[in-house]
Structure 1
Amino acid sequence: MAETNGMDKVTENGSIRIADEVVAIIAGLAATEVDGVAGMSGGVVGGIAEILGRKNLSKGVKVEVGEKEAAIDIYLIVKFGIRIPDVALKIQENVKQAIDSMTGLNVVEINVHVQGVAFPEPERKADEEELQQRVK
C-alpha cells in the first residue's frame, strides 16, 4: 500500500489533521486487545517473525488513509490453541469500531496477516527444581 500523509479536514475554525501513524497506532492497540493475539509482528526477517511490544504497535500495521476512508493491513502473531478465523474476525470488528469512533474515518477493509504462532513458555519453576535435583 502506498503511504499517504494522513487525513485532512478543514472546518470553520481551522484544519484537523490525523497522521497515518495515529491511525496505525489505534489499529494496533485495538488488535492487541483481542484475546488470542500474542503480539504484533514486525514482518518476516530471515524467515522469523519478530514480536513487537506495545511501544511499537504501529510497526505491525500498514495503513492507507484517504480523505474519508482507510484501508488497513495488520501483521500479528497468534497464541497457540486458538481458532484463527474467529480471532481474525474479532480483530477486524474491534479495529473498525476503534478507528471509526476515534477518527470518523470509514474503514473500507482490514486485512489480517497471521505471521506466526506463539507457544506457551514452559514453567520455569519446574525447570529450576529439576536443575536443583541434578546438582544434588
Structure 2
Amino acid sequence: MADQKYVTLQDDGRVQGNVEISHQVVEILLGIATNQVDGVYEMRGTISNRINSLFGRMNHGKGVDVVFSDDKVSANVYVYLEYGVSIPKVSLEIQRSAIEQLEFMTDLDLTEINVHVVGLIAKKENGELERVTADKKE
C-alpha cells in the first residue's frame, strides 16, 4: 500500500461514490500546518525546491514524508527551527497542529508523527542568517 497514490475515504452508506485524497495533498496539509507553528523557520528541502522557490513556485509539501498502511497514516516532518526556541515545546506543537489539521480537513487519523529537527537558523548581529545543521541532505 506504500505505492498507492490516493487514500479513499469511506462513507456511512448514504451517499454513493468515492472520495480520494492524493498523498501530495496530505503532505501539503501537514507542511502548511507545520510552517504555521511559531519557532519553525523552514522545512527541509532539496536543491530543486530552493531553485523553484527563487522563481516563486512554493512546494508546501517539502520536508514531509507520509506513509499509509492498513488505514493508518504516519508522517515524518523535517524542520529547521529558529535559534533560541524550546525544541521540545515547538516539536509538540508541530505534532498537535498536524494531527488537528489533518483530522479537520480530511477526517483521517494521524497515528504517528515524528518530528526531525535537522538544524537551527540563527540571526547574526549584522542581520545575516546562519544555518547550523548536521543534515547530510542539504
Same fold (TM over 0.5): yes
1:47-106 superposed Cα distances (whole Å, 9 cap, x missing partner):
xxx7x9681121210001246431010011000000101100000000000000100111
Instruction: Give the whole-Å Cα distance in 2 for the aligned partners of 1:21 and 1:6.
Output: 9
Instruction: Give the whole-Å Cα distance in 2 for the aligned partners of 1:75 and 1:114.
Output: 6
Q: What residue is the counterpart of 1:102 in the other structure? A: 105
Instruction: Give the whole-Å Cα distance in 2 for the aligned partners of 1:35 and 1:4.
Output: 33
TM-score relative to the length of structure 1: 0.75
SS at match of 1:57: coil
TM-score relative to the length of structure 2: 0.74
SS at match of 1:56: coil
Tell me, yes or no, if structure 1 residue 7 matches structure 2 residue 10. Answer: no
Q: Percent identity?
A: 32
* CA 1:40–1:3: 2 relative to 1, 3 Å: farther
Q: What residue is the counterpart of 2:29 in the other structure? A: 26
The CA deviation at 1:13 is 2.5
- Runs of 4+ in structure 1 deviating by more than 2 angstroms, as ranges, are 9-13, 65-69, 121-124
Of the candidates 36, 39, 50, which is equivalent to residue 36 of structure 1? 39
* CA 1:102–1:66: 2 relative to 1, 3 Å: farther
Unpaired runs of 5+ residues, structure 2, are 128-138
Of the candidates 76, 86, 91, which is equivalent to residue 94 of structure 2? 91
Q: Which has the larger radius of gyration?
A: 1
One-letter amino acid matched to 2:111: V
Q: Which has the higher helix share?
A: 1
One-letter amino acid matched to 1:71: S
* CA 1:41–1:13: 2 relative to 1, 3 Å: same
Q: Which has the higher strand share?
A: 1
Number of paired residues? 117
Please give the root-mean-square deviation of Cα atoms over the aligned residues, in Å: 2.4
The CA deviation at 1:121 is 4.8
